[in-house]
Structure 1
Amino acid sequence: MAENNLLWRLVGSSYDGMFLTDSVGTVVYCNDSYLRISGLQREQITGRNIADLVKEGEIPDACSPDVIAHKKPMTKVINYYHGVSALVTSTPIFDEQGNLVRVFSNVRDITQLIQLKEQLGEYSRRLRQAERASREDNKLIAVSKEMEAVVRTATRVACFSSPVLIQGESGVGKDMLARYIHDCSDVSESRPFVQINCSAIPETLLESELFGYEAGAFTGASSKGKIGLLELADNGTFFLDEIGEMPLALQVKMLQVLQTNTIFHVGGTKKIALNTRIIAATNSDLEKLMAAGRFRQDLYYRLNVIPIRIPPLRERKADLLALMLYFLEKNNRRFNLNLKLSPRVIEVLSSYSWPGNVRELNNVIENMMIMTENTTTIEERNIPQYITQAVKQPLFIATPDYFESYDLNEIIPAVEREVIRKAIAEFGTLRNVARHLGIDLSTLVRKKRRYNL
């Protein structure tokens, strides 16, 4: 008797609603939680038939009548009239002869869960909108014949899973073209686009970032292991930026990925199958790297199935005005401005060689917009000084006639400064610049500080 009393006290104090009917559906018991969830009073339902309560509109729905009819458990989501949603599971109870004697129902309030699900759906919708807006804010501009050819090729190859190798100087938009290829493919809406810059991650970490690792694979590894970026890109696109910076040891593993579509975790023995489209990009001359023994020839040919070269901005001047106006419009929206470019500004910017390509142009437009005050027109005075000087000055040629004296103490630093400046504009990351200049990174940082670059 004491155990039965304890059991009923437990049922009565349960946070979930509970109610019990007999074999024909008459309500014989309900706890306080059920009254709270359903919004009913005890006297409304006790002794009443559950089917009649539904028929007369006292409650919107119930599982018990179906359980009585089919002698099987049943679960439903019921939205009660006062705004509470509940997950109701009703279970038949039989005696020793197999006769139905009771139907027990558990009623769990899932209102907050549904609200969270709706919020998650709204957040997902907003995220998709933000992604679409981001893509629109990073669209390809193709006015020149050269870029039209690039876009045609990219659109064509998007429908195929073959590897693509994008080559071009720093800042021409190789990452944007890779994203464009993914977006034009059949899997773009639901499949991942994952990218990594091979020059931005230390060599000691790059392998584990790409391939993932098993628990305890190396000192400092997570006890749970970690999935790699290649796995995250499964059924989607994996973009390897600055592939020329990938260490030779990892190049062997990437070749295996391309040949077998499988990977192994660092420290693992289980083969993991992938269905990932590989796009690689570089601003390096891979043929020179191959000749120097720094890039594998077999990997080059495996990646170079679909080669695409993006020409530098100086080779497609027809795109310049369209790009200027595009960046102007984008930043007008971003900063809530209404600025325009004066004809003189367009003339000066069109005369510049843009060694930093589209990235440099974007940054210059943004800089001019921020520095323009008390007017709606960007004028020549708002153009960065280094551009106006470059446009007015002749091409830098290190001859004695260029300098005012023959003093090597003046000439050599001037030449060195110009070479470093152009290398920074050309190759982007300091690591890249140092490699092309043939000096170590610390020396480059010291000279960059010395020349105020």
Structure 2
Amino acid sequence: MKNMNTRLHEELAEVIEWFPDGVYVVDGECRTLLVNSAYEELSGSNRRDLIGRTMSELIQAGFISESVSILVQKTKHSESLMQVLKNGKEVMVTGNPVFDDRGNLQLIVTSVRDMTALNRVTLDLEKAIGLSELNKHHYHVALDQEPVVIWESKHMREVMEKVKQVAPYPTSVLILGPSGVGKEIIANCIHQMSERNHQPFVKVNCAAIPDALLESELFGYESGAFTGARREGKAGLFELADGGTILLDEIGDMPLSVQVKLLRILQDLQVLRVGGTRPRSVNVRVISSTNQDLRTLVGERRFREDLYYRLQVIEIKIKPLSERPQDANALIGHYFDCYSTKYRIPKRLRKDTVEMLNRYNWPGNVRELKNMMESLVVSVPSLVIAPHHLPLHVQTTKDTKRVLSLKRRLEQFEQEIVMEALNEYASFRKAAAALGVDHSTLVKKVQRWSKAVK
């Protein structure tokens, strides 16, 4: 048996020497058995320094950054990843398991392809295209730190202008919009742009906490307040957010009994723990958000009217992504590039793939778009994403949507151009001259758009 294994290894070693790509073979324990000349040349290592050593030992010695063989050993499936060799080269490694007749892992055969030059060229090209797109389409990136907001539409520009205006003040803010539209990101921006940005920012999903626990979680409780309570009591989330900001997400799901106590906090800036008798002063900015129509809930007596007006001092509405296709286009590029960089997989979207994604109406909004871009980067084997790689429900999007919305899209684009000209020239006459239209025509257009907004 030993002679048979030796002969098999010798034959395998002879075969892999013909491969133009690097080939690396380990046993079931991830111990190096064979390495071909292409791998030696690619890595700058000598096979004498590798054979007989485990992949864990080679990682510790700095020969490789991580091992696909160890990953295959765990999953028992083919795996791929980007790897950095000791000489600094970036390679794409794909490990394939080989099993014996009993189903035991016998070998892991890994192909290694040099991606250094391709990655450098792709990065330079992506950077050039990205800068060109930024200048061409006037994408906007708000804040130098997280959270980052990407937009291109007039609607989101107005939203961000409002955020910048109200952020410095401790006023309550109500953010409205469908699920996945980015309400939490806007709340993050308000906090980061305020003087409270170095203080706690506590986020609470009111729909995720059972009604029986919500009051004690928000406002805390004293010792012995109820069965199971801590002996020393517990500070609530409002106390933990003291000096900072609290986000009450899904505020429409808050039970009426808790709404009464929340209203008292907003009026008196004091928290009374469950089972307590002594109020505690708090300095907290309240931001609330919901995908529900609170006015309707007020009419149905499921939400207190006085609390609604306390929360709605400043109201920010975010439209669904289907109503701002310019933002969808910008977000597709942003998140696809982010995940390609994060996972170190140099992928790109074909032009017709982007066109198909732009025809989709994104019912799950930004959350759906973000998740889909991550899925395309990590789950599609090809480095170039073609239309057939997209989910079936995206491929079957009807083109009639584009035809029906063409007039509205053209008008939005016209508004963008006009507003940019007005911002640049600060004069209707100068802007009209630059655009090559009559001054009165420009004034009428702006007046009509202003009435439509109101």
Q: TM-score, normalised by structure 2?
A: 0.56
SS where residue 287 of structure 2 aligns? strand
1:97-246 matched pairs, under 5 angstroms: 136=145, 138-188=147-197, 190-246=198-254
The number of aligned residues is: 260
- The match for 2:348 among 340, 346, 360 is 340
Deviations 1:269-317 (A, max 9, x none): 1110011000000000011111111011000011110000011101111
SS where residue 185 of structure 2 aligns? helix
Q: Which amino acid aligns with 1:276?
A: V
Contact 2:223-2:230 at 8 Å conserved across structures: yes
Deviations 1:137-186 (A, max 9, x none): 64111210000000000111110000000000000000010011000111
Q: In structure 1, how many angstroms separate the alpha carbons of the residues matched to 2:378 and 2:146?
A: 19
Q: Which amino acid aligns with 2:184?
A: D
Contact 1:170-1:356 at 8 Å conserved across structures: yes
Deviation of 1:340 after TM superposition, in Å, equals: 1.4
1:207-356 matched pairs, under 5 angstroms: 207-356=215-364
Relative distance call for 1:195 and 1:315 in structure 2 (3 A) is: same
Deviations 1:365-391 (A, max 9, x none): 111112221x32111121111221234
Deviations 1:322-345 (A, max 9, x none): 101110121112211111111111
Contact 2:388-2:395 at 8 Å conserved across structures: no
Query: Paired residue for 2:397?
Result: 390
The list of structure 1 runs, each at least 4 consecutive aligned residues, that deviate by more than 6 angstroms after superposition, is 392-395
Deviation of 1:393 after TM superposition, in Å, equals: 8.7
Deviation of 1:216 after TM superposition, in Å, equals: 1.1
Deviation of 1:187 after TM superposition, in Å, equals: 2.1
Contact 1:371-1:382 at 8 Å conserved across structures: no
Q: In structure 2, how many angstroms separate the alpha carbons of the residues matched to 1:260 and 1:390?
A: 52
Contact 2:151-2:331 at 8 Å conserved across structures: no
Query: Paired residue for 1:434?
Result: none
- The match for 2:388 among 356, 376, 381 is 381
Contact 1:163-1:304 at 8 Å conserved across structures: yes
Query: Which 5+ residue runs of structure 2 have no aligned equivalent?
Result: 1-142, 403-454
Q: In structure 1, how many angstroms separate the alpha carbons of the residues matched to 2:401 and 2:174?
A: 36
Deviations 1:62-89 (A, max 9, x none): xxxxxxxxxxxxxxxxxxxxxxxxxxxx
Q: In structure 2, how many angstroms separate the alpha carbons of the residues matched to 1:329 and 1:394?
A: 27
Deviation of 1:321 after TM superposition, in Å, equals: 1.6
Q: Which amino acid aligns with 1:207?
A: E
Deviations 1:191-229 (A, max 9, x none): 010010000111011011100111111011111111111
Q: Which amino acid aligns with 1:344?
A: D
Q: In structure 1, how many angstroms separate the alpha carbons of the residues matched to 2:265 and 2:281?
A: 9
Question: Alignment RMSD, CA only?
Answer: 1.8
Q: TM-score, normalised by structure 1?
A: 0.56
Query: Paired residue for 1:358?
Result: 366
Q: In structure 2, how many angstroms separate the alpha carbons of the residues matched to 1:311 and 1:370?
A: 29
Deviation of 1:360 after TM superposition, in Å, equals: 0.5
Q: Could you tell which deviates more after superposition, 144-153 or 327-336?
A: 327-336
Deviation of 1:392 after TM superposition, in Å, equals: 6.2
Contact 1:328-1:365 at 8 Å conserved across structures: yes
Contact 2:244-2:284 at 8 Å conserved across structures: yes
The percent identity for this pair of structures is 45
1:423-434 matched pairs, under 5 angstroms: none
Q: In structure 1, how many angstroms separate the alpha carbons of the residues matched to 2:244 and 2:316?
A: 20
Q: Which amino acid aligns with 2:342?
A: R
Query: Which 5+ residue runs of structure 1 have no aligned equivalent?
Result: 1-133, 396-453
SS where residue 238 of structure 1 aligns? strand
Query: Paired residue for 1:441?
Result: none
Q: In structure 1, how many angstroms separate the alpha carbons of the residues matched to 2:158 and 2:194?
A: 18
Relative distance call for 1:242 and 1:368 in structure 2 (3 A) is: same
Deviations 1:96-148 (A, max 9, x none): xxxxxxxxxxxxxxxxxxxxxxxxxxxxxxxxxxxxxx995641112100000
SS where residue 187 of structure 2 aligns? helix
Q: In structure 1, how many angstroms separate the alpha carbons of the residues matched to 2:359 and 2:385?
A: 17
Query: Paired residue for 2:436?
Result: none
Contact 1:290-1:297 at 8 Å conserved across structures: yes
Q: In structure 1, how many angstroms separate the alpha carbons of the residues matched to 2:150 and 2:346?
A: 22
Q: Which amino acid aligns with 1:215?
A: S
